[in-house]
Amino acid sequence: MKSAENTKFIGRVDRADFSELELEDISIKIDTGAYTSSIHSHHIAEIIESEGKYLEFEILDPEHEQYVSKKIRTKNYEVKAVKSSNGLTEERFFIETTITLFEQEYPIKLSLTDRGQMKHPILIGRRFLSSKFVVNTDLKNLSYKQKQKNH
């Protein structure tokens, strides 16, 4: 457990940057009930070519028109079994990327899933939060506010 003076609080929602995905100020939801983190994705395809294999997918954030159907390609991915919120186990693709919160970059694994009906296109789960942040559900946008204040 972190000492009190080193504790970094995060609220129930915030905005984050994902520089490798060329995304800025994307709405995220903090969910301590979820183990993994996920990003809203569609048209997910594993493509095998003579140069190797890669994953191609599109992301969607209704709040940012420039991200509608933004196509992403990566070779840095894996497939894992995940138990969804409805209790069913399904295979999902995971990508490794970075997230910037409180002006600090962290590695993160994101599962690709359809979050089209959700308010926030990205969900941040316990696996990422552990040993980095303490969640205070009374607060929101702490990282985003710090970024705005410093720029």
DSSP H stretches of helix in the chain: 126-129, 142-150
Is 58 inside any structural domain? no
User: Across-strand partners of 44?
Assistant: none
Q: Mean pLDDT score of the chain, rounded to an integer?
A: 88
Look up residue 44 and give its two tokens. Answer: 């997910």
Task: Flag whether pLDDT at 2 surpasses 60.
Answer: no
Structural domain span for residue 100: 10-41+76-150
Q: Which of 50, 66, 57, 74 is nearest to 115 (CA)?
A: 57
pLDDT computed for residue 1 by the predictor: 47
Is 105 inside any structural domain? yes
**pLDDT tens-digit readout, 53-91:** 999 998 876 666 666 678 889 998 999 988 877 788 889
pLDDT computed for residue 97 by the predictor: 94
Q: What is the CATH number for 114?
A: 2.40.70.10
Q: What is the pTM of this model?
A: 0.87
Across the range 114-130, mean pLDDT stands at 88
Is 142 inside any structural domain? yes
Is 121 inside any structural domain? yes
Task: Flag whether pLDDT at 121 surpasses 60.
Answer: yes
Across the range 16-37, mean pLDDT stands at 93
Is 133 inside any structural domain? yes
Is 29 inside any structural domain? yes
pLDDT computed for residue 114 by the predictor: 82
Is 64 inside any structural domain? no
Is 1 inside any structural domain? no
pLDDT computed for residue 70 by the predictor: 81
Q: Which residue has the higher pLDDT, 103 or 118?
A: 103
**pLDDT tens-digit readout, 35-58:** 999 999 988 999 999 989 999 998
- The SS3 of residue 150 is helix
Please enumerate in sequence order all residues whose Cβ is within 8 A of that of 110, keeping only pairs 6 or more positions apart, or say none.
37, 38, 39, 94, 95, 97, 122
